[in-house]
């Protein structure tokens, strides 16, 4: 089934610099590529709202995150205006500390730029078969022509896809400026010299607009490093590592799967993993919250029952650890969260087993023990439980 039918426009901008040594002063530790995605038919309306933001907060200049800097009240006000727009956001956050520059082509700027942008383009192509990507002009005219050919060559996944690409100047394209501002806001949660306590508030506000924040390289270390840096209370590294690695492994195996329901499971895990960066590491998420999140990307419609049976249960069957309680689901970070899952599960199973035992005993008594409803090979383990 086609996930999206309308033609989409994606406006892209980057945050961070090429510097390969993230520990060197002036070099960014992360390279963040952000896409603002809209329906083609909504372009004029969204551009108008964006221009109102520009005139109010930036006068005659461009909308740029670094021009807001640490004026958090102003950033908050701009985000409130952005929430009125019918947009979605995908961001790829590349942790340069985990990249191998010395022994790969990434040490060359052209290769670096092509490769990292293709991470985002691949994400867009999976979600939106019909899309036009508009990126900020970058480098020489020769490079832009070369890069455009490179993207077009890798663009179509199937003969039915419609993938287009072009460069535009950010001075003229307001929605590229919007991508700059949102990407810069996201960077407040990653760059050491930009991190601020207000980021969690900004992140929660933007959450309804963000489809996914992809952390790359796809590795558990990306998340575990951040867990070490936050105050989590009784954080247990062994359990957290097992939990995060299981989620990351599932995503890695299934991210390019075109089956809707499999991708929806990926979206749930990505959402739960992203809470590590948003400071929501203790929060459980109700089924309704997770259904609402994946509904922005999925063509499927889930009730609470189908969500549990089609999303949560298969994830657990695939060895993904998910803690659950009356407050919802999360990736477990310590022993108490593992016990919360065990207690809830046992609380559901025990009454069922008790009713089964009563039925078995009633039938045994009525048949002088000639008929045991558990006297089948497939029930042998349950029978042993009752016999013990």
- Beta bridge mates, 11: 36, 134
| Average pLDDT over every residue of 377-388 | 87
| Whether residue 156 has pLDDT greater than 60 | no
pLDDT in tens, 113-145: 777 777 787 778 777 878 888 988 875 566 566
Exposure string for 182-196, b = 16+ CB within 10 A, e = fewer? bbbbbbbbbbeebee
CA distances from 374 to 264, 327, 348 (A): 38, 35, 20
> Please, which pLDDT band fits residue 2 given cuts at 50, 70 and 90?
very low
DSSP β-ladder status, 88-95 and 210-216: parallel
The stretch 326-333 carries a mean pLDDT of 90
- pLDDT for position 154: 58
How many residues in the chain? 388
pLDDT in tens, 37-65: 999 999 999 999 999 999 999 988 999 99
Nearest C-alpha neighbor of 310 from the set 276, 264, 267: 264
Q: Answer whether residue 34 shows pLDDT above 50.
A: yes
Average pLDDT over residues 6-33: 85
Contact present, 260 and 299 (Cβ < 8 Å): yes
Residue 39 tokens read as 């329906």
Please calculate the CA angle 259-280-278 and round it to the nearest 5 degrees.
75
From 331, 327, 326, 344, select the one nearest 235 (Cα to Cα).
331
- Please state, in angstroms and rounded to a whole number, the distance separating the CA atoms of residues 199 and 287: 25
Mean pLDDT of the 338-366 span = 89
pTM: 0.71
Report how far residue 84's alpha carbon sits from residue 100's, in angstroms, rounded to the nearest whole number: 41
Domain extents for the chain? 1-217, 335-387
Residue 158 clears pLDDT 50, i.e. is over it: no
pLDDT at residue 387, rounded to an integer: 82
pLDDT (tens digit per residue) in 230-273: 545 567 878 888 898 899 899 888 987 878 899 899 989 988 98
3-state DSSP call for residue 103?
A: coil
Q: At CA 163, angle to CA 54 and CA 172, rounded to 5?
A: 20
Mind listing the pLDDT tens digit for each residue in 263-296? 899 989 988 988 876 667 788 999 999 998 888 7
* Average pLDDT score over residue span 317-339: 90
Question: What average pLDDT is seen over the chain?
Answer: 84
Phi, psi values for residue 82, rounded to 5°: -65, -35
How many CA atoms are closer than 13 Å to the CA of 247, on its beta-carbon side? 31
pLDDT at residue 308 is higher than 70:
yes
CATH number for the region 1-217 comes to 3.30.420.10
């Amino acid at each position: 089934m086609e996930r999206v039918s309308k033609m989409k426009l994606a406006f892209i901008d980057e945050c961070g610099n090429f510097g390969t040594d993230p520990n060197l002063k002036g070099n960014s530790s992360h390279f963040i590529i952000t896409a603002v995605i809209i329906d083609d038919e909504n372009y004029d309306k969204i551009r108008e709202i964006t221009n109102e933001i520009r005139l109010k907060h930036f006068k005659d200049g461009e909308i740029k995150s670094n021009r807001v800097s640490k004026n958090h009240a102003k950033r908050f006000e701009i985000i409130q205006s952005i929430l009125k727009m019918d947009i979605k956001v995908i961001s790829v956050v590349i942790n340069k500390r985990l990249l191998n520059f010395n022994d790969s082509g990434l040490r060359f700027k052209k290769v670096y730029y092509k490769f990292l942008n293709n991470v985002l383009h691949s994400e867009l192509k999976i979600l939106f078969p019909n899309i036009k990507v508009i990126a900020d002009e970058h480098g020489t005219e020769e490079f832009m022509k070369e890069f455009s050919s490179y993207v077009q060559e890798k663009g179509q996944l199937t003969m039915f896809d419609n993938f287009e690409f072009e460069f535009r100047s950010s001075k003229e394209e307001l929605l590229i400026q919007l991508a700059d501002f949102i990407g810069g806001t996201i960077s407040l949660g990653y760059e050491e010299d930009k991190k601020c306590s207000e980021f969690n508030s900004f992140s929660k506000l933007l959450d309804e607009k963000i489809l996914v924040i992809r952390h790359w390289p796809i590795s558990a270390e990306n998340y575990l490093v951040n867990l070490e840096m936050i105050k989590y209370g009784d954080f247990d590294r062994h359990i957290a590592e097992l939990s995060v690695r299981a989620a990351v492994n599932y995503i890695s195996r299934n991210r390019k799967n075109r089956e809707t329901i499999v991708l929806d499971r990926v979206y749930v895990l990505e959402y739960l993993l992203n809470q590590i960066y948003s400071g929501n590491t203790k929060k459980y998420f109700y089924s309704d919250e997770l259904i609402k999140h994946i509904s922005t990307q999925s063509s499927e419609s889930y009730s609470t029952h189908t969500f549990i049976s089609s999303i949560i249960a298969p994830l657990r069957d695939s060895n993904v650890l998910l803690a659950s309680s009356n407050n919802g689901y999360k990736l477990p970070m310590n022993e108490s969260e593992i016990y919360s899952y065990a207690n809830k599960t046992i609380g559901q199973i025990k009454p069922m087993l008790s009713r089964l035992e009563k039925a078995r005993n009633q039938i045994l008594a009525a048949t002088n023990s000639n008929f045991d409803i558990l006297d089948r090979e497939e029930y042998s383990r349950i029978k042993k439980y009752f016999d013990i």
